[in-house]
Amino acid sequence: MKKNKILIVSDYLFEDNPGGCARVSEGLAKEFSKELNVSLILRGKKENAFKSFKEYSSEIYSCGKNPFLVFKALFEIFKEPPFCLNFHDPYLSFWVILCLKFKKIKIPAFYTYHSPWSEEYKIRAEKNGCLFFHYLGVYIRKKIERFILSYCSNIVCESFYMSKKLKEIHNMDSKVFYLGVDISKFKPISKVEKEKFRIKLNLPLKKKIFFTLRNLEPRMGLENLIKAVKILKDEKEFLFLIAGMGSLRKELVELSKKLKVEDKIIFTGQIKDEVLPIFYAVSDAFVLPTAYLEGFGLISAEAMACGIPVLATPVGANEEVVGSLDKSLIFKDINPAAIAEGIKLFMNREDTDKLSEKAVLTAKNIFSFSAYAEKNLNLIRDLCLKNK
């Protein structure tokens, strides 16, 4: 067993499938590599994996969803087994544990619990119908996830909300480490720079710009946001930027046309990671209209680090994360009327400059990625001591 080798088991790279899980596992790989030899196995594209991780990882395996490729990679990795495992993705983690049991190897592991696999599937499946496969899929995912979690010495949740959710579903305890932001990447810009970037992006200088970045999927509440824009249509000059891709894109675009608010909304598509901080920084506020299941909302912390206030529904960890900035930024409900009311109140606030300053300080003091990574490294050190 290689004493300073850790295997990170993740799903996709941020470039392949933008989301909090990808951002976190990439960030941890970078931080862990300062002390450890990092190996990675994931489902993203091989060429993107090498481009993203060649500086941080000595071994990179991209397997898609093919169990044969997963086992092939694992048998290669376990020729010189790591001393520790960090799981992020339930699908690949399941195959990793099966491989370990087959080879009769026990390696200390901890699970970074981003969200309940069964509940995410349930939300997607309810929209697609077919009740039998719906319930079967939920049941299987819950059992697989419990099998993985039972193998792990520790479970790390990113919010107290998610820790409580884990307890409800699996009756398991966890540690809570708030996620963090790379504040060297996500940072505020001056008003002069803001104007320059708005001109460069062909965005209006005088309008209030609200930004949201989401996978365009059912739990994100984007239908409610578009309906809220309809309610606000006659208010002050404003514009919404909705970034991201997903199964609801066509439906959301059609809804904006049906409600005759297409002049108030720009669907930007997927935004490249290197220009994402600019989109935060040119906005006046970030809006998180989550309808169900917000495990943390890393994008909220990223926006705050850029000096952008965040408005959010009272769902999941939003009240912890956005509430740490200002509880009045939490909408009263998830419905369009409540979202519209909260946005209207923000438009009329006169303390937005102070709010921006507080947002930056909140991100630095509470949501620092270096602090998050250090807590994970301390956990790894404890696991090593216990398993000597």
Say if residue 110 is in the same domain as residue 25.
yes
Say if residue 153 is in the same domain as residue 226.
no
Say if residue 108 is in the same domain as residue 200.
no
pLDDT tens digits, residue range 208-266?
A: 999 999 989 888 999 999 999 999 988 778 999 999 998 899 999 999 999 999 999 99
Per the prediction, the chain carries an average pLDDT of 90
- The arithmetic mean of pLDDT across residues 35-52, rounded, is 73
pLDDT tens digits, residue range 276-299?
A: 999 999 999 999 999 998 999 999
pLDDT at 2 over 60: no
What is the domain-level CATH number for residue 48?
A: 3.40.50.2000
pLDDT tens digits, residue range 99-123?
A: 999 889 899 999 999 999 988 888 7
Say if residue 217 is in the same domain as residue 300.
yes
Q: How many domains does one find in the chain?
A: 2
- d(C-alpha 239, C-alpha 262), whole Å: 10
Look at residues 15, 38, 14, 35 and name the one whose alpha carbon lies nearest to residue 24.
14
pLDDT at 386 over 80: no
Look at residues 180, 149, 144 and name the one whose alpha carbon lies nearest to residue 166.
149
Domain, as residue range, for 330? 191-366
pTM of the model: 0.91
Say if residue 133 is in the same domain as residue 205.
no
Q: Band the pLDDT of 13: cuts 50, 70, 90.
A: low
Say if residue 333 is in the same domain as residue 373.
no
- Taking each helix axis from N to C end, the angle separating 67-77 and 90-103, rounded to the nearest 10 degrees, works out to 50
Q: For residue 348, how many other CB atoms are within 10 A of its CB?
A: 8
Q: How deeply is 234 buried, as exposed, middle or buried, from its count of CB atoms within 10 A (0-12, 13-18, 19+)? A: exposed
Q: Assess if residue 186 is contained within a domain.
A: no
- The arithmetic mean of pLDDT across residues 144-163, rounded, is 97
Say if residue 258 is in the same domain as residue 380.
no
pLDDT at 387 over 80: no
Write phi, then psi, for 344 (nearest 5 degrees): -60, -45
Say if residue 90 is in the same domain as residue 205.
no
